[in-house]
A and B are shown apart, each in its own frame.
Chain A
Amino acid sequence: AQRVTQPEKLLSVFKGAPVELKCNYSYSGSPELFWYVQYSRQRLQLLLRHISRESIKGFTADLNKGETSFHLKKPFAQEEDSAMYYCALSGMDSSYKLIFGSGTRLLVRP
């Protein structure tokens, strides 16, 4: 069965500290992984996807197929990074669906 697990409901760090939001997945085929973000009073939006292999707003995420993980990292957190972050999986085997994790709220304190 397809599943995305985000073990932390809340992650609180100080400004300038490194951040790692954890995401593990379960999928038997070839997955595509995403990170979506929802800032306060804004719509849920795509942050990055593994296939792009790019850094967005200083965030990066590497797909580790051996550990079935797709952790989101940023070396120096900023207050504006405070938001709800969702990891999501799409199967490349003709599935149009996204399976979302339960989300992690990141709080960056001054």
Chain B
Amino acid sequence: SQTIHQWPATLVQPVGSPLSLECTVEGTSNPNLYWYRQAAGRGLQLLFYSVGIGQISSEVPQNLSASRPQDRQFILSSKKLLLSDSGFYLCAWSAGLVGSEQFFGPGTRLTVL
């Protein structure tokens, strides 16, 4: 069966420090991969999605970037964190079909101080 992992579960970082959040998927090949930010009262905001290795689509211009170095690995990064980057980050995968169900990871709670 397919599983999705995210780490770390929680992270506290100072302003200006770099960030690397990792997401991996097991049990499937060539998934679509997604990064969301979940904010209270604002729902889920799609940040990036990828339909293949090295293919990244950015939805919202911001201080973050994403990379997909391997088929089932998706990384969210920042060179210098801002206070406004604090939030709950979710990774998700779906099959490569339009309208497919998305399966979500457990999330990472990021606090920037």
Q: Which residues of A contact B (CB under 8 A)?
A: 6, 9, 32, 34, 43-46, 49, 51, 86, 90-103
Contacts and interface: CB of A to CB of B under 8 A. Distances in A.
Majority secondary structure of chain A interface residues (helix, strand, loop or mixed): loop
Contacts of B105: 43
B42 A102 contact: yes
Contacts of A45: 103-104
B61 interface: no
A46 B103 CA distance: 8
Interface of B: 32, 34, 36, 41-46, 49, 51, 59, 90, 94, 96, 98-107
A32 B99 contact: yes
Given A97-B49, A102-B41, A102-B42, A46 B99 contact: no
B87 to A, nearest CB: 14
29 contacts: A6-B43, A9-B41, A32-B99, A34-B101, A43-B106, A43-B107, A44-B44, A44-B104, A45-B103, A45-B104, A46-B101, A49-B101, A51-B99, A92-B98, A93-B98, A94-B98, A95-B98, A96-B51, A96-B98, A97-B46, A98-B102, A99-B46, A100-B43, A100-B44, A100-B45, A102-B42, A102-B43, A103-B41, A103-B43
